[in-house]
Structure 1
Amino acid sequence: MNTAPLRLFWWCPSRHLPALRAEIKGSARAWCHLRAQSGRWLKNFGDELSPIVLQHLTGREVVWAPPRRADAIGIGSIIEYFHKHRGSDALVFGSGLRGSVEGTGRGLNRSLGPIVGLRGPLSKEQLGVEPCFLGDPGVLVGDVYGAHRTVRKVLNGQVILIPHFRAWQSKQDRLHISSVENLGVRIVSPASSPEVVLGEIRAAQLVLTSSLHGLICAHAMGVPTQFFSMARDVANSEPTFKFDDYLATIHAGWKLGNLSTDFNEFKRTPQLVFDRAVEYGGIALERTEFMREEIKSSVNGNL
């Protein structure tokens, strides 16, 4: 068995100059606010799940590598970025697209190596491939951080909100976050470390989130979760493609709504929210065993 370090690319602006330039140009204000809260600069917990999951599954050291030197890519909407920055021949285990690639997907997939898994059916359709599994490997973090074995129903704990990091870019969205906090919701920074965010999720009664990996990690940890699109500033909203892609794997829909209004509705009828959240979380947890084995065998067999 190969014991050499696995060279993995994941989105990390502090390590890759093109991403750093883009974030300074487009989201500098957000990162300044997030650094003040979390003490961390240009890091997003969702992207950092990729090396954690891969190292846990393979038992091998995992190191960051730029696209041109990477052996593998995993968690995140990073396929277009990987291709743009001359990545090639990397094993793909659960990555996804950010949006439609307008008929160029079949050419784009030729820059990839073995495609073991993709995040969902929309990425699969755009790329024109047949991966071994569909789903986001973020659901495997429960193996690492002690998930609840079934999705639990607890009606007397803390409700937390994990916004997408770009929500801190505009004053309008920051005020929105503060208004939700005033309703008694605990705000969890997506720039915090995975250990901190997953600890908050595991202890929560309910996770409200506009971050895709906030949703996925709540599924992984067996905690009821409700997705909200909360950006009031349209310029800072995330593409819906990636959410539709993942949620299609568990046959779940999502809604746009006013977070303050919907939270008040939750307080009036909590059981309705819990029942829906528990159903979707249970479906996500059912998919983990096959995904776990496919990633382990494919990485060990190819790398």
Structure 2
Amino acid sequence: MKNSFLRWGIKLARPWFIFGSLKRPILPYRVNLMFFDEKLGPDKQPNVGDLLSKVIFNFLLKSKGIKSLRSKRTYRISFVGSVIQFLTGDAVVYGSGFLYESVVAKFASEKVKLDVRAVRGPNTKRMLESIGYTVPEVYGDPAILLPLFYQPKTANPKKEYIVIPHWKKTQDYDSKKYAVLSTLTGDWEHFIDEIASSKLVLSASLHGIIIAEAYGVPAILLGHTEKNDLFKYQDYYLSTGRENFVIAKDIDEALKLEIPQVPDFKEMQKKFMDAFPVDIFKDK
């Protein structure tokens, strides 16, 4: 009985913590950035995509002249990554997406109120609209904004290519045979520098693809993904107007493919920047 009450109490409390982490409370009358801060893998490092949530968010605050997270209400803002399905409290959505289509029904049962300003792509828009949310046609992962404030230090000559595995499968790649770049790192600048110092990126990491293309580096998707579910990848590619994209089964196949064109992000970046919810930052 005691354990049942404890579980019930934790369930009631979780919406007031960032992604249910009981060590990270939602602060009242603040804008609370929803991001993961777990240390992953054998070396206990952050996932660079999660780390970039704070980096890009701080850039946006500075660029919009916002000096305080204080607000008249308590806000959650869902930002970088496939995180919408983890929301358990009302939130503003700005650039997030769903991880898989299969998680949408369970999320709908949570009956969370969302104020959607932008989503990662058309797949997420379609899924949110299917369960009753209003979604503007504003697309983009916040990582497309990185070139607006960080200029990488590039090596010369550049590497012919680098390989970025999904973080759960990094150990499957021989770092002596290939130039492997792990997404598990606390040094986001080095991660970007390595991408920008390559002529081609072969990546099973979605943020590896997005960051490469944002900096003008061609990228090919490796099919060695977490669960062979391409929902989030399709979401991103569709956001840039690409209904078809190449998936290589392995590195050897990827190196034989025609190098894809990199999309022009200028219009998307502007539209995405304009959609930033400056109105929720009110400290008076």
Instruction: Give the structure-2-normalised TM-score.
Output: 0.73
Q: How many matched pairs?
A: 238
Partners of 1:195 and 1:62 lie apart in 2 by 25
Partners of 1:94 and 1:109 lie apart in 2 by 20
Tell me the residue number matched to 1:165: 167
Offset at residue 72 of structure 1 (A): 0.7
Tell me the residue number matched to 2:135: 130
Partners of 1:195 and 1:166 lie apart in 2 by 21
Partners of 1:140 and 1:94 lie apart in 2 by 11
- Give ranges in structure 1 of 5+ residues lacking alignment: 15-22, 24-30, 36-40, 64-68, 149-153, 169-173, 267-271
Residue 206 (1) aligns with residue 180 (2):
no
CA contact (8 A) 1:54 1:62 kept: no
Where does structure 1 differ by over 3 angstroms across 4 or more consecutive aligned residues? Answer: 60-63, 101-110, 154-158, 283-286
Partners of 1:104 and 1:260 lie apart in 2 by 35
CA contact (8 A) 2:152 2:193 kept: no
Q: CA 1:238/1:181 → structure 2, altered by over 3 Å: closer, same or farther?
A: farther
Looking at CA atoms only, which structure, 1 or 2, has the larger radius of gyration? 2
Offset at residue 181 of structure 1 (A): 5.0
CA contact (8 A) 2:119 2:138 kept: yes
Residue 43 (1) aligns with residue 46 (2):
yes
Offset at residue 237 of structure 1 (A): 3.0
Partners of 1:104 and 1:163 lie apart in 2 by 29
Amino acid at match of 2:264: I
Partners of 1:106 and 1:127 lie apart in 2 by 10
Where 1:111 maps in the other structure, the secondary structure is coil
Amino acid at match of 2:273: R
Of the structure 1 ranges 118-127 and 46-55, higher mean CA displacement relative to structure 2 is found in 46-55
Q: CA 1:58/1:123 → structure 2, altered by over 3 Å: closer, same or farther?
A: same
Where 2:49 maps in the other structure, the secondary structure is coil
Residue 259 (1) aligns with residue 264 (2):
no
Tell me the residue number matched to 1:18: none
- Give ranges in structure 2 of 5+ residues lacking alignment: 1-28
| Higher helix fraction (1 or 2) | 1
Offset at residue 220 of structure 1 (A): 1.4
Offset at residue 246 of structure 1 (A): 0.9
Offset at residue 130 of structure 1 (A): 2.0
- Superposition map of 1:59-70 within 5 A: 59=62, 60=66
Q: CA 1:77/1:217 → structure 2, altered by over 3 Å: closer, same or farther?
A: same
Partners of 2:197 and 2:103 lie apart in 1 by 42
Residue 247 (1) aligns with residue 237 (2):
yes
CA contact (8 A) 2:164 2:183 kept: yes
Partners of 2:248 and 2:160 lie apart in 1 by 21
CA contact (8 A) 1:73 1:95 kept: yes
Amino acid at match of 1:44: N
Amino acid at match of 1:104: A
Offset at residue 285 of structure 1 (A): 4.4
Offset at residue 126 of structure 1 (A): 0.9
CA offsets 1:212-255 (integer angstroms, 9 cap, x no match): 00000111112121111125xxxx43531101111111133333
Tell me the residue number matched to 2:222: 228
